[in-house]
Amino acid sequence: MTFSFYQTLTTIPRELHEATRVFQLNRWLSLKTMELPFATLPLVWNSMMSWAGGWFFLMAAETFTVGERDFRLPGLGSYLQTAANDGDVRAIFMGLGTLIVVIVLMDRFVWRPMLVWANKFKVESTESDDPPESGFYNVLSRSWLLEQFGRHIWSPISERIDLTMGRIFGGASAKRGQTEGRSPLSIVLLGIGGLALAIFLAYNLQGVVRMLVALPVSDWGRIGLGTLATLARVVLSLLIALVWTLPVGVAIGSNPRLAAPLSPVVQIVAAIPATALFPIALLVLLRLPAGLNIAAVLLMLMGTQWYLLFNIIAGVSAIPQDLIYMSKLLQLRKWDRWRTLYLPALFPYLVTGLITAGGGAWNASIVAEHTHFGGRTFSTTGVGALISEATARGDYALLLGATLTMILTVVGINRLFWRRLYRLAEEKYRVE
Amino acid sequence: MNSADNTPLLELQHVSRHYGKEHHRFTAVQDVNLQILPGEFVCLLGPSGCGKSTLLRMIAGLAPTSEGQILYRGELLTGVNPHTTIVFQTFALYPWLTVLENVEVPLKAQGMPLDQRRRMALTQIDRVGLDGFESAYPRELSGGMRQKCGFARAMVVQPELLCLDEPFSALDVLSAESLRGELMELWLSKAIPTKAVLMVTHNIEEAVLMADRIVVMDKEPGRIVGEVVVTLRHPRRRKDTTFQAIVDRVYALAIGKTELTADALGTAPGSPGRTIGLPNVPIGQMTGLLEKVSEEGVRHDLYRLTEELTLELDDILPAVEAAEILSFALVEQGDIVLTPLGQTFVEASILTRKEIMAGRALRLPMIRWIYETLQQDDDHRAAEEFFLDRLRADFGDYAEQQFDTAIDWGRYAELFAFDDDTDELYLEPN
């Protein structure tokens, strides 16, 4: 959400910025009239995604042990976790059902209306053909009560706030025009802040280094092996996801009649946290050899394949109509069509989708590789398992080492692999 | 027209603006001296890149000067100029506010209470002819109406100096015509308390139609090359001979004269001395221009040419420059004249044209530099980055554009070509 806000600030059209300065809007008015509205739509989308992401760790966040201490917070997550621990299948299904109901209700009564409202802030030159709709929003917008509230209570309050803010900030922005550097006061404050941060970091750094050095070599060996194992699982889950999302995504994306009924269904299915379904999957898979490994890959898959699917659907709908006609006219065979049209055109979207899905898969490894079910603990080789184990045992040194290694691995892959692919996608495969 | 009050409203003294440091400096505007008196409608006219928009922003206080000073009513300008407002080319309306709310914004910024703002905003909206549309959002309006809203917003605070930044460029021809008429009516009938108007444009006819004084600018570096005073009475008609004469004069001033001196071509990037950029035009457009001129003979009036091709100054200038530096044509007194070489070029076959082009292009320092660099390499190849690096030092953000132009010319002349897969330039075997 922070990133999205920052991003939108950098994309405000230059002339809008200049207009705000020319008309001498003070800091508060400028925020209220230009910056916040501009950021609202992406912020709402990102909030929806963050919200969905929050559900993912529901179980892990409400019931966990750190060393000696056992935390259990009252909540749906704890309910599901306890049900899984007891192997109580009926309870699991009930909990899952409640979860689905909550998600659907939130979607209808909170997110959709917010999205419709936020569309007001879209910077578009024409009305979109397909604006989002929400029955609940329509009810709210026609509500007499809300209108009275807006007119008699909200408007005057808003005016008052603007006036007060004007007195506090007023005139300040007029002077801001000429100064291209910062004011001396802010430089001093920044300097002090920076120094304080540096000292804090240095102090903690030496504690960190001490802990890492104290870690025995055998533990580093486990971390290394675990990272490789998790990496293998991540790659496998991405490949499996790719294999099914590509044809399905292209089918949905090129067929708007399919898209309309399927898309809300897909969105809701995507929102159900995979971690809640995990115990059920385990029930079946644990009987098989290498059961937990398969289950882990499955969990990663469930959590991340949706990113890929959505990106592919978006990519297909962005392919210019002429290219599609061309490939039909030439009567290309299926494979040729994929090779010359779909795969190159989708390349940038695939890269974006894979990067996000990959990140989600690494995330999922923490809950997927080490789990409690039916009173027993199942664990497999992997850096995610190490992190969970270390947390449960209170082995902070191992936790630190494993977490750092995971971070470095993911960042390393991002820089060396994904960045290059991204640049390739931008230069060669952009459809202009 | 001009009032008796002769103290200038606005005065620019030796104003310059550059970006970058000592040796890698990009000068947007150089040593500009300008005055605007009350009662004047002044136009800043010039091709893109001549710094006219930069000048406008400095006058509004949105950008600082690198050198020189700007005085408003005799006082030094520091910060945003509270006596001016701007009407923007892209309207710059807040998409989430209605027309009424948009027009109220400047008044709200001044802390005016709701009822008073509402009244003033409604008056302004009426004045520009948008009544009935107060509750509409910008996306529901046509381009012309959005700009009317922009005008209403800029005028609602009754600025002394109204600044317009190419206000009609983004509109279709008919809406632009209608809006121009309405603006002139407001200005001439003194219905608005504005004392002076400064308009930036690249459209010569528009400038002659509206302004009392046209300040002509040129680029590289951005500077004022002259002024034309227009004393015609309103309403002015495009077809009048006096009107056409003034347009011709402005044209001649804007296009200038061909410089034939040796150092007019500049030096190679990286060498001491001024590096002059290639005009941003593909060779195809230049050959089109030459062919069109040769239809008439050897000489053609540039203004008439733009009318026949329904082009504007900006569209034709780069092609003319290209013809000049390749010695295919000269410019004098507002006419373009084909040189004997230019005539030969036009009449030649494609292959011969390429040979002629190769010969002429190698005289340009930039092309010669690229060619010689490739020759000195064992494989006769060199990476794109190598050239871009040197070009960035001289051209900053325009380096890529220069590079692309050089590749286009080099390919046409079959001197060198670009391998997109490896991002390298290579010498064409011949």
Asked if residues B399 and B384 have their Cβ atoms less than 8 Å apart, the reply is: no
Could you report the predicted ipTM of this complex, rounded to two decimals?
A: 0.77
Residues of A in contact with B61 (CB under 8 A): 177-178
Between CA B65 and CA B80 the distance in angstroms is 12
Cis peptide before A131 (omega within 30 of 0): no
Cis peptide before B221 (omega within 30 of 0): yes
| Percent of chain A clearing pLDDT 70 (strictly above) | 88
Q: What is the mean pLDDT of residues A236-244?
A: 91
Contacts of residue A310, defined as CB under 8 A and 6 or more positions apart, other chains included, come to A270, A353
Residue A327: its pLDDT value, please? 79
Q: Is A129 on the interface with B (CB under 8 A)?
A: no
Q: Is A37 on the interface with B (CB under 8 A)?
A: yes
Give the residue from A79, A88, A73 showing the smallest Cα distance to A373: A88
* The token pair that represents A57 in the structure block: 């760790």
Which of A115-129, A160-174, A414-428: highest mean pLDDT?
A: A414-428
Q: Is A85 on the interface with B (CB under 8 A)?
A: no
Average pLDDT along chain B: 88
Q: What is the mean pLDDT of residues B103-127?
A: 92
**How far off is chain A from B95, nearest CA to CA, in Å?**
6
Asked if residues A267 and A310 have their Cβ atoms less than 8 Å apart, the reply is: no
Between CA B347 and CA B329 the distance in angstroms is 14
**How far off is chain A from B154, nearest CA to CA, in Å?**
8
Contacts by A235-244 with C-beta closer than 8 Å and gap 24+? A236/A297, A237/A297, A237/A300, A237/A301, A237/A304, A237/A361, A238/A304, A238/A308, A238/A354, A238/A357, A238/A358, A238/A361, A240/A297, A240/A301, A241/A301, A241/A304, A241/A305, A241/A308, A241/A357, A242/A308, A242/A350, A242/A354, A244/A305
Q: Is A376 on the interface with B (CB under 8 A)?
A: no
Q: Is A152 on the interface with B (CB under 8 A)?
A: no
**How far off is chain A from B168, nearest CA to CA, in Å?**
15
Residue A264: its pLDDT value, please? 67
Report CA torsion sign: A357, A358, A364, A368.
Answer: positive
Residue A178: its pLDDT value, please? 41
Residue A430: its pLDDT value, please? 63
In CATH terms, the fold of domain A215-432 is MetI-like fold (1.10.3720)
Residue B103: its pLDDT value, please? 96
pLDDT range class, residue B243, cuts 50, 70, 90 = very high
**How far off is chain A from B96, nearest CA to CA, in Å?**
5
Residue in B with minimal Cα distance to A15: B92
Residue B410: its pLDDT value, please? 92
Q: What is the mean pLDDT of residues B122-130?
A: 92
Q: What is the mean pLDDT of residues A217-228?
A: 88
Q: Which amino acid is at B193?
A: P
Residue B40 has pLDDT above 90, yes or no: yes
pLDDT range class, residue B350, cuts 50, 70, 90 = very high
Asked if residues A139 and B25 have their Cβ atoms less than 8 Å apart, the reply is: no
Contacts of residue A5, defined as CB under 8 A and 6 or more positions apart, other chains included, come to A39, A42, A43
Q: Coil, helix or strand for B76?
A: strand
Which of A87-101, A191-205, A316-330: highest mean pLDDT?
A: A191-205
Q: What is the DSSP letter of B3?
A: -
- Residue among A15, A16, A22 with most chain B CBs within 10 A, to mutate: A22
pLDDT digits (tens, 9 = 90+) for B13-32: 999 998 776 666 678 888 99
Between CA A285 and CA A279 the distance in angstroms is 10
* Residue found by looking up tokens 């317009």 in the block: B164
Residues of B in contact with A16 (CB under 8 A): 92, 94
Residue B276: its pLDDT value, please? 78
The torsion angle over the Cα atoms of residues B287, B292, B296 and B301, rounded to 10 degrees, is -100
Q: What is the mean pLDDT of residues A181-188?
A: 68
Residue B13 to residues A230, B16, B69, Cα–Cα distance (Å) = 68, 9, 5
Residue numbers of B between 120 and 139 with CB closer than 8 Å to A = 139
Residue A263: its pLDDT value, please? 66
* Residue found by looking up tokens 């009350």 in the block: B38
Residue A418 has pLDDT above 70, yes or no: yes
Q: What is the mean pLDDT of residues B160-182?
A: 92
Residue A394 has pLDDT above 50, yes or no: yes
* H or E element at residue A417: none
Residues of A in contact with B142 (CB under 8 A): none
Domain spanning B10-254: which superfamily?
Answer: P-loop containing nucleotide triphosphate hydrolases (3.40.50.300)
Instruction: Sketch the domain layout of chain A as residue ranges.
Output: 215-432
Q: What is the mean pLDDT of residues A187-211?
A: 86
Residue A174: its pLDDT value, please? 45
Residue B5: its pLDDT value, please? 60
Output Rg (C-alpha) for chain B, integer angstroms. 25
Residue B140 to residues B94, B98, B99, B135, B145, Cα–Cα distance (Å) = 13, 10, 10, 10, 10
Residue A9: its pLDDT value, please? 77
Between CA B363 and CA B265 the distance in angstroms is 9
Residue B176: its pLDDT value, please? 92
Q: What are phi and psi of B77, to 5 degrees?
A: -85, 120
Residue A294: its pLDDT value, please? 83
Q: Do B95 and A122 touch (CB under 8 A)?
A: yes
Between CA B140 and CA B157 the distance in angstroms is 25
Residue A125 to residues A14, A249, B165, B300, Cα–Cα distance (Å) = 16, 29, 20, 42
Q: What is the mean pLDDT of residues B286-312?
A: 87
Q: What is the DSSP letter of B312?
A: -
Q: Do A177 and B61 touch (CB under 8 A)?
A: yes
Residue A191 has pLDDT above 90, yes or no: no
Q: What is the DSSP letter of B362?
A: T
Q: Do A22 and B62 touch (CB under 8 A)?
A: yes
- Across A118-127, A300-309, B93-102, least confident range: A118-127
* The token pair that represents A89 in the structure block: 């299948």
| Percent of chain B clearing pLDDT 90 (strictly above) | 53
Residue B97 has pLDDT above 60, yes or no: yes
Contacts by A403-410 with C-beta closer than 8 Å and gap 24+? A404/A212, A405/A223, A405/A224, A405/A227, A406/A227, A406/A230, A406/A362, A409/A227, A409/A231, A409/A383, A410/A358, A410/A359, A410/A362
Residue A289 has pLDDT above 80, yes or no: no
What ranges in A153-288 are assigned the alpha helix state H?
155-169, 172-176, 184-214, 217-254, 256-271, 274-285
Residue B95 has pLDDT above 70, yes or no: yes
Q: What is the mean pLDDT of residues A325-351?
A: 81
Of A18, A34, A175, the CB nearest to B94: A34
Q: Do B79 and A22 touch (CB under 8 A)?
A: no
Which of A286-295, A329-338, A409-418, B404-413: highest mean pLDDT?
A: B404-413
Strand pairing partners for B86? Answer: B163
Q: What is the mean pLDDT of residues B197-221?
A: 91
Between CA B56 and CA B166 the distance in angstroms is 11
Residue B233 has pLDDT above 60, yes or no: yes
Residue B255 has pLDDT above 90, yes or no: no
Between CA A304 and CA A362 the distance in angstroms is 10
Query: Between A216 and B245, whose confidence is greater?
Result: B245
The number of C-beta contacts closer than 8 angstroms across A and B is 86
Asked if residues B289 and B323 have their Cβ atoms less than 8 Å apart, the reply is: yes
CATH architecture of the domain with range B279-359: Orthogonal Bundle (1.10)
- Across B26-35, B96-105, B161-170, least confident range: B26-35
* Residue found by looking up tokens 């530096």 in the block: B325
pLDDT range class, residue A105, cuts 50, 70, 90 = confident
pLDDT range class, residue B71, cuts 50, 70, 90 = very high
Report CA torsion sign: B249, B252, B254, B257.
Answer: negative
Q: What is the mean pLDDT of residues A152-178?
A: 70
Residue A32 has pLDDT above 50, yes or no: yes
pLDDT digits (tens, 9 = 90+) for A358-382: 888 888 888 888 877 766 777 888 8
* The token pair that represents A222 in the structure block: 């486990």
Instruction: Sketch the domain layout of chain B as residue ranges.
Output: 10-254, 279-359, 364-430
Residue A186 has pLDDT above 70, yes or no: yes
Residue A75 to residues A66, A72, A351, A384, B137, Cα–Cα distance (Å) = 19, 9, 37, 24, 45
Q: Is B422 on the interface with A (CB under 8 A)?
A: no
Q: What is the DSSP letter of A50?
A: H
| Percent of chain A clearing pLDDT 90 (strictly above) | 7
